[in-house]
Structure 1
Amino acid sequence: MKKLLLLFLLSGMVATAQQNLTIEQATYGQYQAYAPKSLTAPQWRKDSKTITYLDNTYSKLMSRSEDSKWEEKTFLTKQDLTSALKSKYPSEFFNFQIFPYQYKWEDKNTIAFKAAGSNGNYLVLFDVEKKEVKHAIAIAADASQQVMAPNGTAVAWLKENNIVITTENGQNTNVTNDTDKGIVNGSDYVHRQEFGINKGMWWSPDSKMLLYYRKDETMVADYPLVDFGQRIATEKDIKYPMAGMKSEEVTLVVYNVASNAKTTLKTEGPKEQFLTCVTWSPDNKYIYVGVLNREQNHLKLNKYEATTGNFVKTLFEEQSSTYVEPLHELTFVPNSNTEFLYRTEKDGYEQLYLYNTDGKLLKNLGYNDVVVTELLDFDTKGKSVSYVGTANNGLDRHLYQVNLKSGKTTQITTGSGTHSVMVSSDGALALDSFSNTTTPNDVSIINTANKKTTSLFKANNPYTGVTELPKMELVTITAADGKTPLNGRLIYPSNFDANKQYPVMVYVYGGPHAQLVNNDWLGGASLFDYYMAQQGYVVFTLDNRGSDARGRDFEHVIHRNLGQNEMADQMKGIEFLKSKSFVNQDKIGVYGWSFGGFMASSLMLNHSDTFKVGIAGGPVCDWKYYEVMYGERYMDMPQENPEGYEKACIVNKANQLKGRLLMIHGAQDNVVVQQHSMEFINACIAAGKQVDYFLYPTHEHNVRGKDRIHLNHKIADYFETHLK
């Protein structure tokens, strides 16, 4: 009997033993089953000391407030919304599967959300105290990029390439009526969404005028994408302005709702300039626009009259020997028509500057080498403003407050790691979600005046009892310039034995606006990286010079010379790896996507004796095939920088290939068009070099949805077959 009992207990231990991640878990578990406990869709209620968020079933809006000592309470339910909408629209049927995830507080008593009815979609303003609908506007089911007027009585939206305004009484007004698809109105896909552009229409604060982009791309060459989903494949043309070629021409137009009159801002200058930082003045009288030349090295912040479109003045200019990259609208100080915050890296780090509308710099609000990553809110009187910024050589994120008059900056958060912060509308309280490499998520409320912290909860390690994640550590490596510290991440194989030697997978991106190594939970890595470590690989990542969050000079070393300094830094990472006795120097592979695909293939070709295996997804193979806005910022035009384009081109290096290289591309890629990899494959054929290739017929630049599992399978299998 004792023997049987022992066998039973042992079998139970085996059944509950922790297992390695499956490829499915490694692909989506990080964001779903194994996401650390957190608040879902949290927001501060305007003009209050209350936070709201969704419950675990996504059926209720919960709240915690200072008055209730931060105890959780039910604030609103799906039924509250359904009943109010049904009362206003008795003939409609509304069925909320979840409480609207994209709800937004407009003021203390009003939330905005979208609702799907049986006869169409509605944009709704809802009074949370009276539990009734204040405004609701029905729009067409195919309406895109909807923007509600501040007063809630009208919505501007796009019908293909034209703008329609729908009012609360159901009246539609066609703002534009262009039949040529090459004229695009109101779209956020202007200048290919570079320069921080995420909208194409702006209501004036008084809701009487609508400002919008008008993009003329009739002169831009058509680029064919092939749709294989039909019996006979069809061609879909997109407008794709390649570096050095004719680009789009963009203007800004003001539409007067009452008179139906249109006024084009007189943004004089070359037709192919870029219009950025678009901002209404709080008094509705003026519009501010950052006018950037095509060379992207000279920015003028201009002021225009809204009613006439006339140019008023240039407030200030920015010039650079490399490039100027405006990314943010102006932020006016509360209750002021004449003072605003401007974000720029002109002095080395992206920081805040206080200007007046005459163009006078009132105060430099920068603090040390902190890069502002998110601008938050002002205090009640508009005397200080909060923001999230970097620390610890870009690894950490902290909450800072700066006084606008004195310029004095106070760091509010202290724990080393990543603080994801939301500040109340009076700036007095902050909701802080904190993580680092040993902390999954600690959620608390911080009093910004005295820094007193009230804990709401601490998340447990979501992998406990499921799988044992391999050991990860953050490392520092000196760049190829001999002085700049670089952030790296090393994940050890499961059951690591220092006396053994292991193959290496280097995961790389390396380009601007991306940071792969962070002091947060999992160290900034994807769960797929840990999956590969569980399969017996050392997994290594390095943020080389040229990547994000370290300031202007750190990034701008790439100018006119893409790939060169980045590779030099990555090879310093390889030197670090080779110094480790547990690294098998004959089995080093590299994987990257997009800019990372460019880097992976560049490393395979330029350092062919080091890398045995490479996987390059959506890779830029020749920068002359890339688009104007991004490509020319970093490389100038091909005719201006032929040497730089030649050095960065991997097509002409195909004959240097020695190891096994897999290229992966989406056939519908409208970012890095498939021509890149086709040119490289053709060069490999001419050079007699074998290369592997895989195409995702229906995907664009990234492989999404369930097919992501297929992609990760392919990557893991390729390394398993050719590297181990």
Structure 2
Amino acid sequence: MHKFLALFFPASICPKWSSRTCRTFLSLLAVPLILQVLFGFTCAYGQRNFTIDETVYGPGRFSPKTLIAQKWMHTEDAFTCLDSTYQNLVIRSAKDNWSPQNLITVNQLQSAVTSALPNEKIELKYIPFDYSWTGDQVLSFSAQGANNSYVIEYNTKSQKATVTSSVPSGVSNTEYGNDGGSIAYLIGNNIEIIDAAGRKVQVTKDTVDGIVNGSDYTHRQEFGINKGMWWSPDNKKLLYYRKDETMVSKYPLPQWDSRVATVKDIRYPMAGMKSEEVTLVIFDTDKNEHITLQTGEPKEQYLTIATWDPTGQSIYVGVLNRGQDHLKLNQYNANTGAFVKTLFEEKSSTWVEPQHPLTFLPKNNTQFLYQTDKDGYNQLYLYNTDGTLVRHLGHQDIIVTDLTGFDAKSQKAYYVGAAKNGLERHLFEVELKSGKTTQLTTANGVHQASVSSSGSFILDQYSNLNTPNVVQVIQTKDKKELPIIKADNPFVGKINLPRIEFKEFISPDGKTPLNARITYPLNFDKTKEYPVMIYLYGGSHAQLVTDRWLGGVGYFDLYMAQNGYVVFTLDNRGSDARGRDFTRVTHRNLGEAEMEDQLKGIEYLKSLPYVDTENMGIFGWSYGGYMATSFMTKHNEIFKAAVAGGPVIDWKYYEVMYGERYMDTPQENPEGYAKTSLLNKADRLKGNLLIIHGAQDPVVVQQHSMDFIEKCIKAGKQVDYFLYPSHEHNVGGKDRIHLYEKIARYFDLHLK
């Protein structure tokens, strides 16, 4: 369900989300980096408010100055990035006091690519953003030809390009071997390989509808799954998922693009119903044979965090039961598929949620890092391959959000961690032998930081509520800071920016701090009364309030504040970056503790003399849509208007993987499902409710909102409804502008 999140947060606050909800849901309010590049100009406007289209394109048009695509060199204390024109790759070195020097021009790269591929028409308009360094003189990047996609290496010394691999256009889930020589990819639901000699090998030949091989859309991308194939260290074996969903119910999605509408069926396992059966299979390229890992019964279990042993002789798999409260980390023989041993087990009275594959220490085949929140916060644990815990590498209440690597001697690990009750992100260094931990960044805010190969320098980029962007190099020895960029406020002289302020409340449990954010109307006058728009999400793996530029506020929020609304957001219990106990309170009763916390914020708003308590509105999408609809039925005296986008209405209609983690099955928890369902509460609906849904939504299927409308009709309750016929869970592209305009008009109609 993290697929919900992408609609309304910038990607910079999301480390690695635990599933596609976040990745999908994050894109609506936030514009990806490439969009920021394409629209990253400053228009010569006079001082004014946002236009409605800038609720979508604003993050690109008014993005603070920054470095683009910065990468540390492999062995030098130097990093590269694109210049402001994207036509040059520049290098900044400690030897030159970090002053920029041109290293590669796009014309040089174009000339080399044309020479390497004379029969392809590849036009490089800018230095590729996806470049990486395979050596200090060798740049690797991808390029698209007429019929093939290429991976190309460019030698900065010889200025020559070499094609290292190519795959046909239109394939998916491309997985490159560790040496770049062999490539696996999907054509439909089957795997094909191009080996180092350029020969094609068809790995699977399944034609049955419901048999899917090598897909990252396994277990619906929960449990941190973001790939479906893994090459062995020697590139001779390919591990892949084989998903059998033939027994999973087909769910119809009407298609409106023909004169007579048709139906597209998807496989959708609802909570308590039959789920998919997944196995892990090895394809041995030398022997041309398949080996299935003996992961055992029952067939309905989750196979997660698959990791090759550095020797290639073993594979480690997290085997999680369908109830998601018992995880076994198992070792399997990569030559036979046989079970070897269980290294350790993890159990919980609520749920266990593996998110990260094992990370073996460099040049050490017998020790690895494992991440879990079993002791309260997601942190690092160092294990031997015999299953012995060497030491816990956690630090205070810091939550590891991104393990970034190791020092050159493999004595230290580096990670970015959530701090200060989740508001900030900082870079930390931990000594593997002692567990001693040092915080390497200090300025308050959200940091994206990495360490040079020598460990002598940190490239640090951060922002906070009032700081648009700072890029600096920090010397690890004496903490000296050398500024590279200190961005000006991009709105000055152009856009009227509302005032944003952080707030903190205590949860009804009497002890848990809750982070909140209030955005004031322009020209705020505390002697006047203003309508309110509360924007919320409320579900797991989401965080709306962070101490980064603008406090994480979305441009639609700014637009509404510019148009006279007090805009309020609170991260309740159950949301992200606060630890195990903060999330587990929602178990078997989704929406209950969340609403209790939101009510704390609402009580605060009602106490303010400048809040028009008769004209309050609430808006949320997905889980936020569930929360908004819940308030209009369960606490129906508070809000005069609400907008619920893609709302969950009854958890029995939601998918197995997410739904059963938090609610168990409807058979196991009938009271919880009845309590949290909104179908049996439609008769309590008061106020003005607009429900918006995508007709092609494969995440929160349209049945949720349709059944709720039917209940409202039977109860004599009026409800407004709008459908986006061609959109899935996310309303994307230019249609986002239409969406935001509709929401703004709805609140203006009922609250002003």
- Same fold by TM-score, threshold 0.5 exceeded? yes
Q: Which residue matches 2:605?
A: 577
Matched, 1:106 2:141: no
Matched, 1:598 2:626: yes
| Cα deviation, residue 433, structure 1 | 0.9
| Cα deviation, residue 388, structure 1 | 0.8
Q: Which residue matches 2:293?
A: 265
CA–CA distance in structure 2, aligned partners of residues 93 and 518 of structure 1 = 45
| Cα deviation, residue 118, structure 1 | 3.1
Q: Deviations over 1:487-537 (max 9, x none)?
A: 000011111000011110000001100000011101011011111001000
Deviates more, 1:119-128 or 1:297-306: 119-128
Q: Which residue matches 1:543?
A: 571
CA–CA distance in structure 1, aligned partners of residues 46 and 169 of structure 2 = 50
Give the percent of matched residue pairs that are identical in Structure 1 and Structure 2. 57
CA–CA distance in structure 2, aligned partners of residues 308 and 643 of structure 1 = 46
Q: Which residue matches 1:4?
A: none
The answer to whether the 8 A contact 2:116-2:162 is kept is: no
CA–CA distance in structure 2, aligned partners of residues 330 and 256 of structure 1 = 23
Deviates more, 1:406-415 or 1:64-73: 64-73
Counterpart of 1:384 (choices 408, 412, 427) is 412
Q: Which residue matches 1:93?
A: 121
Q: Which residue matches 1:654?
A: 682
Q: 1:214 to 1:581 in 2, by over 3 A?
A: same
Deviates more, 1:203-212 or 1:186-195: 203-212
Deviates more, 1:189-198 or 1:448-457: 448-457
| Amino acid in structure 2 at the alignment position of 1:241 | P
Q: Which residue matches 1:700?
A: 728
Q: Which residue matches 1:186?
A: 214
- Please give the secondary structure, in 1, of the residue aligned with 2:128: coil
| Cα deviation, residue 68, structure 1 | 1.9
| Cα deviation, residue 457, structure 1 | 1.1
Matched, 1:530 2:558: yes
Q: Deviations over 1:311-357 (max 9, x none)?
A: 11111100000000000011111110001111000000000010010
The answer to whether the 8 A contact 1:135-1:168 is kept is: no
Deviates more, 1:138-147 or 1:447-456: 447-456
CA–CA distance in structure 1, aligned partners of residues 227 and 667 of structure 2 = 32
| Amino acid in structure 2 at the alignment position of 1:23 | I
Counterpart of 2:58 (choices 29, 44, 65) is 29
CA–CA distance in structure 2, aligned partners of residues 545 and 658 of structure 1 = 26
The answer to whether the 8 A contact 1:138-1:168 is kept is: no
Q: Which residue matches 1:516?
A: 544
Deviates more, 1:500-509 or 1:229-238: 229-238
Q: Which residue matches 1:302?
A: 330
- Please give the secondary structure, in 2, of the residue aligned with 1:67: helix
Q: 1:254 to 1:427 in 2, by over 3 A?
A: farther
Q: 1:88 to 1:227 in 2, by over 3 A?
A: same
| Cα deviation, residue 55, structure 1 | 2.3
Q: Structure 1: which 5+ residue stretches go unaligned?
A: 1-14
Q: Where do residues 401-480 of structure 1 align in structure 2 (5 Å cutoff)?
A: 401-480=429-508
CA–CA distance in structure 2, aligned partners of residues 16 and 168 of structure 1 = 55
CA–CA distance in structure 1, aligned partners of residues 209 and 125 of structure 2 = 36
The answer to whether the 8 A contact 1:280-1:288 is kept is: yes
Q: Which residue matches 1:41?
A: 69
CA–CA distance in structure 1, aligned partners of residues 160 and 319 of structure 2 = 44
Q: Which residue matches 1:619?
A: 647
Matched, 1:553 2:549: no
The answer to whether the 8 A contact 2:647-2:705 is kept is: yes
| Cα deviation, residue 236, structure 1 | 0.7
Q: Which residue matches 1:691?
A: 719
Q: Deviations over 1:24-62 (max 9, x none)?
A: 1122212x1111111112222222222122222223222
CA–CA distance in structure 1, aligned partners of residues 190 and 87 of structure 2 = 36
- Please give the secondary structure, in 2, of the residue aligned with 1:96: coil
Q: Which residue matches 2:397?
A: 369
The answer to whether the 8 A contact 1:27-1:708 is kept is: yes
CA–CA distance in structure 2, aligned partners of residues 431 and 85 of structure 1 = 31
CA–CA distance in structure 2, aligned partners of residues 80 and 149 of structure 1 = 28
CA–CA distance in structure 1, aligned partners of residues 710 and 679 of structure 2 = 9
| Cα deviation, residue 426, structure 1 | 4.2
Deviates more, 1:141-150 or 1:673-682: 141-150
- Please give the secondary structure, in 1, of the residue aligned with 2:95: coil
Matched, 1:632 2:656: no
| Cα deviation, residue 211, structure 1 | 0.8
Q: 1:330 to 1:108 in 2, by over 3 A?
A: farther
Matched, 1:713 2:741: yes
Matched, 1:224 2:252: yes
| Cα deviation, residue 113, structure 1 | 2.0
| Cα deviation, residue 705, structure 1 | 0.7
CA–CA distance in structure 2, aligned partners of residues 529 and 144 of structure 1 = 36
Q: Which residue matches 1:157?
A: 185
Count how many residue pairs are aligned between Structure 1 and Structure 2: 709
| Amino acid in structure 1 at the alignment position of 2:541 | H
| Cα deviation, residue 124, structure 1 | 2.5
| Cα deviation, residue 107, structure 1 | 3.6
Q: Deviations over 1:636-677 (max 9, x none)?
A: 001100111111111111111110000000011011011100
CA–CA distance in structure 2, aligned partners of residues 483 and 224 of structure 1 = 46
Q: Where do residues 556-567 of structure 1 align in structure 2 (5 Å cutoff)?
A: 556-567=584-595
Matched, 1:19 2:43: no
Deviates more, 1:160-169 or 1:648-657: 160-169
| Cα deviation, residue 694, structure 1 | 0.4
The answer to whether the 8 A contact 2:89-2:103 is kept is: yes
Q: Deviations over 1:404-460 (max 9, x none)?
A: 111111011111111111233444322111111110001001223332221101000
CA–CA distance in structure 2, aligned partners of residues 326 and 101 of structure 1 = 31
| Cα deviation, residue 265, structure 1 | 0.8
Deviates more, 1:408-417 or 1:537-546: 408-417
TM (norm. structure 2) is 0.93
The answer to whether the 8 A contact 1:377-1:426 is kept is: no
| Cα deviation, residue 171, structure 1 | 2.0
| Amino acid in structure 2 at the alignment position of 1:83 | S
Q: Which residue matches 1:177?
A: 205
- Please give the secondary structure, in 1, of the residue aligned with 2:53: helix
Deviates more, 1:222-231 or 1:667-676: 222-231
CA–CA distance in structure 2, aligned partners of residues 364 and 121 of structure 1 = 44
CA–CA distance in structure 1, aligned partners of residues 111 and 181 of structure 2 = 21
| Cα deviation, residue 712, structure 1 | 0.5
The answer to whether the 8 A contact 1:43-1:422 is kept is: no
| Amino acid in structure 2 at the alignment position of 1:719 | F
Moved over 6 A (4+): none
Q: 1:680 to 1:474 in 2, by over 3 A?
A: same
- Give the CA RMSD over aligned residues: 1.4
| Cα deviation, residue 182, structure 1 | 0.9
Q: Which residue matches 1:293?
A: 321
Q: 1:292 to 1:390 in 2, by over 3 A?
A: same
Q: Where do residues 330-369 of structure 1 align in structure 2 (5 Å cutoff)?
A: 330-369=358-397
| Cα deviation, residue 467, structure 1 | 1.2
Matched, 1:245 2:273: yes
The answer to whether the 8 A contact 1:662-1:693 is kept is: yes
CA–CA distance in structure 2, aligned partners of residues 488 and 608 of structure 1 = 23
CA–CA distance in structure 2, aligned partners of residues 298 and 470 of structure 1 = 48
Q: Deviations over 1:558-590 (max 9, x none)?
A: 110000000011011100111111111111110
Q: Which residue matches 1:329?
A: 357
Deviates more, 1:52-61 or 1:476-485: 52-61
The answer to whether the 8 A contact 1:225-1:235 is kept is: yes
Counterpart of 1:495 (choices 523, 526, 538) is 523
- Please give the secondary structure, in 2, of the residue aligned with 1:576: helix
CA–CA distance in structure 1, aligned partners of residues 347 and 137 of structure 2 = 45
CA–CA distance in structure 1, aligned partners of residues 402 and 340 of structure 2 = 30
Higher relative contact order structure (alpha carbons within 8 Å, sequence separation ≥ 6): 2
Counterpart of 2:97 (choices 57, 69, 86) is 69
Counterpart of 2:242 (choices 202, 214, 221) is 214
| Amino acid in structure 2 at the alignment position of 1:34 | F
The answer to whether the 8 A contact 1:135-1:152 is kept is: no
CA–CA distance in structure 2, aligned partners of residues 451 and 359 of structure 1 = 38
| Cα deviation, residue 134, structure 1 | 4.2
The answer to whether the 8 A contact 2:496-2:562 is kept is: no
| Amino acid in structure 1 at the alignment position of 2:650 | D
CA–CA distance in structure 1, aligned partners of residues 484 and 128 of structure 2 = 24
Q: Which residue matches 2:110?
A: 82
